[in-house]
Structure 1
């Protein structure tokens, strides 16, 4: 008999964060049984939540990004189910275990960063330059300080890294750090490289950079004067 699997989302309505938002929680269902997987890492305004459809109402940008992220989570869970569908190991616990399972040395964003940077450092002189390694080390330090100043946190769990956090980090780089537009873009691209590494390693079950696109601004550097050329 063909198994029936689906994912559902609901709000943790008994607790609101300082912004007045509630966490979106998730469950998975298999052949009439269900099990909770905990938080999705997404927070929404309770008044904008459609409990029947399990998503945010409206066509505003934030609603579209949030719903796209929830769809991405559902897709990842569906892929795990499809891989196990015709095996004897298919069960809610197995799907939950595979979805939540992470390598111990990469459970958080900064531990993932540390793993990536340590691997880069070990390869200096073997295709990796000190300048390239330094770029990632600086990015990590900026993100760590951003977490402390913006969220009063020393780290984030993998599932807590959302497009909103990426947006806040972008603003932090341009305002607090004082990076120009193009430099901030380059820093975010460096950050994204680490996240792609995490996705390939199976650490992420969602894409924090979903619908986030990078485009640098053209800068007119002008021409050197005769005196500058002579110098």
Structure 2
């Protein structure tokens, strides 16, 4: 009898937790505002955040030809330059919304869809992205060539940057990402890409990993990210 009661209790707790998770789930929908066509026939792309019976709408600050819009997939059809560029920006925007949602969840306070909207819009306006900070790091290093760094070493950072951008494009379908979008599996996925796909040596991958860690460490000290990423990687 005790075992049955205990199992029933656990089952009830699990069901309650699952129900709560389903209730708390955030949803983001992208759609076209067809009533707002501009002179060239482009329709603005809008977004709607739904969370715990609250709703917030926002502009994606993007537009497209309504004929290219795939309402089911919330993206543009085809592989034209416009479609690829716009889809990349939409993917980055959705990742930023998810990042804002996680930040609010971690604070442990009650929030609404409007709070998520304001958090992600604030992030989009003020954040410095990973490759932007990496570029600044390399620019600073360029000033020290012949003093603290060799020209060959600097060139390796430029090459690594090209590989990082290609990797980000393949994994995230965008040209750059925010620090908030970088999870702990970033380096693991980078290793698979570098060693597995590009056939780099483990030693070269390690150089890439250390370059990533260096840029993230600088960002952390400058307050651009709330946590120090990849601190476990030994130099």
Higher-RCO chain (CA-CA 8 Å, sequence separation at least 6): 1
Q: Which protein is richer in helix relative to its size?
A: 2
